[in-house]
A and B are shown apart, each in its own frame.
Chain A
Amino acid sequence: AQSVTQLGSHVSVSEGALVLLRCNYSSSVPPYLFWYVQYPNQGLQLLLKYTSAATLVKGINGFEAEFKKSETSFHLTKPSAHMSDAAEYFCAVDSSYKLIFGSGTRLLVRP
């Protein structure tokens, strides 16, 4: 069965610092992986997705993620955090056309 683990329920960075949000997956088949972002009082918005076309995936707002099969990881990064990046981030894996979500990581950006 597919599953997703997000390490760290809260991550705090300074504005301009590197953002690294961790996601590890478990899947018996080649996975389809997604990162979603949720801004306060809003629904989820797709940041990027891995569909096996390329291991480094670029998304919106300067985010990217690298699929590493050997480490079963799909970590989300951004070189320089902006105050507007403060939100909750969810990693998800496809499971028979349904999504299995991680527990989420709340990103705090300090001025």
Chain B
Amino acid sequence: DVKVTQSSRYLVKRTGEKVFLECVQDMDHENMFWYRQDPGLGLRLIYFSYDVKMKEKGDIPEGYSVSREKKERFSLILESASTNQTSMYLCASRSPRTGPQETQYFGPGTRLLVL
């Protein structure tokens, strides 16, 4: 079974803090993704990574950065947390080997509250 794990299920941070969200997958997938989920907006892509040390901006990258030093781990960083970054954050991974029809596998999510 594919397993995508996220370091925390719930997180409470203060405005201005630097926040790290960690994601680990055990299926040797090249592609990894970070989304945020907000009511009525669905999932929006923040950043994605095609492979180690490769990253590309998604639709809403402002206020975020990412790091992919090892294939299995993809970190999302909030440089200076703000209240409008309160949200559910979902990590996903996939293999690109057979093309765009490959399934993305999701972690359980981290619910972040910024006070």
A residues touching B (Cβ–Cβ < 8 Å)?
6, 9, 32, 34, 36, 41-46, 49, 51, 90, 94, 96-99, 101-104
Asked whether any CB of chain A lies closer than 8 Å to the CB of B60, the reply is: no
| Shortest Cβ distance from residue B3 to the other chain A in the assembled complex, whole angstroms | 11
The answer for the CA separation of A17 and B71 in the assembled complex, in Å, is: 45
CA distance A99 to B102 in the complex (A): 11
In the bound complex, do residue B40 and residue A99 qualify as a contact, i.e. CB atoms below 8 Å apart? no
B104 within 8 A of partner (CB):
yes
Q: How many residues of B are in contact with the other chain, CB < 8 A?
A: 25
Q: Are B100 and A32 in contact (CB under 8 A)?
A: yes
Given contacts A46-B103, A94-B101, contact A102 B109 (CB under 8 A): no
Contacting residues, chain B, for A104 (C-beta < 8 A): 40, 42
- The docked-state distance in angstroms from the alpha carbon of A102 to that of B44 is 9
Question: Quick check: A43 and B40 within 8 Å, CB to CB?
Answer: no
* Contact call B40/A103, Cβ cutoff below 8 A: yes
B106 CB to nearest chain A CB (Å):
4
Inter-subunit contact B42/A98 (CB<8 Å)? no
One digit per residue, 1 when the CB lies within 8 angstroms of any chain A CB and 0 when it does not, for chain B 76-115 equals: 0000000000000010100010001101111111000000
Which residues on the A side are within 8 Å of B9 (C-beta)? 41
Contact A43 B33 (CB under 8 A): no
Whether B31 contacts A97 by the Cβ 8 Å rule is yes
Is there an interface contact between A44 and B106, defined as CB atoms closer than 8 Å?
Answer: yes
Task: Please report the C-alpha to C-alpha distance between residue A41 and residue B88 in the assembled complex, in whole angstroms.
Answer: 10
When A32-B101, A98-B58, A103-B40 are in contact, do A43 and B90 touch as well, CB less than 8 Å? yes
CA–CA, A34 and B92, complex, Å: 15
Would you call A9 and B90 a contact (CB within 8 A)? no
A-B contacts, 15 of them at CB < 8 A, read: A9-B40, A32-B101, A45-B106, A46-B105, A49-B101, A49-B103, A94-B101, A97-B31, A97-B100, A98-B58, A99-B33, A101-B35, A101-B43, A101-B44, A103-B41
- In angstroms, Cα B40 to Cα A16, docked, is 27
CB-defined contacts of A99 to chain B, threshold 8 Å: 33, 43, 45, 104
